[in-house]
Structure 1
Amino acid sequence: MLFDNLVRNYEEWFENHPKIYEEEIKTIKKLLHIGRGIEIGVGTGRFAAPLGIKFGIEPSRQMSEIAKKRGIEVINITAEEMDFEEEFDFALIVTTICFVKDPLKTLQNTYKALKKGGFVIVAFVDLNSPLGRFYEKNKFKSKFYKEATFFTKDDIIDLLQKTGFSEFECVENLYGNSLDNLSFKINRCNGGAFKVIRGKK
């Protein structure tokens, strides 16, 4: 599994880019719902913990051990194996959509896991942004992104609509074409790299 061997690199990325991490958290908070939440692909808990999410799924056992130390209950399954029914008020998916084998199945399982009126919040690097195009062009040099599939905002909304979600909202942050020259501001979605889309069941 890709991330089993990259746990230290993953943690170091956040430690080396504290401003980007802080801005991503702030952007997600703009659309985060209240109630009982789940993070799908919780990783080491870098997002769930500061956002107050206490439950997640994560196939990487090495990553989930760190998440557990951050106070998160983790089940070691993939998003495609997930089988909850109307248990959660919201589900958060941060960049995980780029790494799952079956994005549509992932979102179908997410839809099923949500209570009626619940929300999905999908955060990702937009392929149509300068940073997204840079990542796509150079992904085979990257430890993290070599197996990623990048999506545009329209791709994600199309997948969410096919699943049954509606009433979409979108905010964004991170402007620039490399991690070294980013500017930060939370706006409605236009040209930023880090997009957060919320849909309602």
Structure 2
Amino acid sequence: MNGITDPAAYEAWYHTPRGRWIGDREFALLGDLLNPVAGASLLDVGCGTGHFSRRFAGLGLAVSGIDPDPQALAYAAGEGGNITYLRGDGRALPFADNQFDYSSAVTSLCFVDDPVAALREMWRVTRHAVVLGLLNRHSLLYWEKQGRGAYRGARWDSAKAIREEWMPRLAPSPVAVSMGSAIFLPRGGRFARIAETWLPRQIPWGGLLAVCLRR
């Protein structure tokens, strides 16, 4: 997993008008797909600065975050939120089978050289459901941002790859899968924000591809 060069700057982006809008839309989609039960436990894999860890905690979940980057983890711990953070590799999670009710990975698998290995580990330690936020190969965001800035070195995935290449390698097989996408017009202007509220999440061309796998 790639480290975050400047955790404070990374987090500050989510407090800009565009960053706040994108973060809100992405989390709304992830939360709707996961639909977690308050009080349940969740492991956030590749948690980075803890931005989405704190959002999941805001839903009433008992959240743990894991990331290989000590600088990002130090920042996350300083933000509070009653979240347990530890350093580790998502491809070799230091947890028992079925230890968490849910697990999440929000764009972190896009920077893992073997995302299926990480997904299999998440699947192993999760009792109920795994939710993923991935960069969508079939999106306007891909054409605007691939290989640039914070997206340099990122892998862009597709719903077809998830279904045909990732899911068959999970045991036991998921009993249900749901997908959606968000951020169709990534520049985030007034028209983009209005359009986003009208476009159904089932349209597979948003910059964020969200996937929920249930056991």
Asked if TM exceeds 0.5, the reply is yes
Structure 1 residues 4, 94: closer, same or farther in 2, change over 3 A? closer
Which of the residues 150, 153, 173 maps onto 2:182? 173
Structure 1 residues 77, 122: closer, same or farther in 2, change over 3 A? same
Tell me the residue number matched to 1:195.
209
**How far does residue 61 in structure 1 lie from its aligned partner after superposition?**
0.9
Consecutive unaligned residues of structure 1, counting only runs of 5 or more, are none
Instruction: Check conservation: 1:175, 1:192, Cα contact below 8 A.
Output: yes
Tell me the residue number matched to 2:27.
25
Which of the residues 141, 155, 165 maps onto 2:161? 155
Return the alpha-carbon distance in structure 2 between the equivalents of residues 99 and 29 of structure 1.
22
- 1:151-174 Cα distance to aligned partner (Å, 9 max, x none): 112222331332234211012221
Instruction: Tell me if 1:75 matches 2:81.
Output: no
Return the alpha-carbon distance in structure 1 between the equivalents of residues 77 and 2 of structure 2.
20
Tell me the residue number matched to 1:49.
54
Which of the residues 98, 109, 116 maps onto 1:104? 116
Which of the residues 135, 139, 152 maps onto 1:129? 139
Instruction: Check conservation: 2:107, 2:134, Cα contact below 8 A.
Output: yes
Instruction: Tell me if 1:37 matches 2:42.
Output: yes
Return the alpha-carbon distance in structure 1 between the equivalents of residues 88 and 181 of structure 2.
29
Return the alpha-carbon distance in structure 1 between the equivalents of residues 47 and 152 of structure 2.
20
Q: Which amino acid aligns with 1:13?
A: W
Of residues 119-128 and 80-89 in structure 1, the stretch that sits farther from structure 2 once superposed is 80-89
- The count of corresponding residues between Structure 1 and Structure 2 is 195
Return the alpha-carbon distance in structure 2 between the equivalents of residues 121 and 172 of structure 1.
13
Counterpart secondary structure, 1:89: strand
Consecutive unaligned residues of structure 2, counting only runs of 5 or more, are none
CA-based RMSD: 2.0
Structure 1 residues 189, 90: closer, same or farther in 2, change over 3 A? farther
TM-score scaled by length of structure 1: 0.87
**How far does residue 47 in structure 1 lie from its aligned partner after superposition?**
0.6
Counterpart secondary structure, 2:3: helix
Return the alpha-carbon distance in structure 1 between the equivalents of residues 31 and 69 of structure 2.
25
**How far does residue 64 in structure 1 lie from its aligned partner after superposition?**
0.9
Q: Which amino acid aligns with 1:156?
A: I
Structure 1 residues 44, 170: closer, same or farther in 2, change over 3 A? same
**How far does residue 179 in structure 1 lie from its aligned partner after superposition?**
4.9
Aligned sequence identity (%): 19
Instruction: Check conservation: 1:107, 1:160, Cα contact below 8 A.
Output: no
Structure 1 residues 177, 67: closer, same or farther in 2, change over 3 A? closer
Tell me the residue number matched to 1:95.
107
Return the alpha-carbon distance in structure 1 between the equivalents of residues 2 and 44 of structure 2.
19
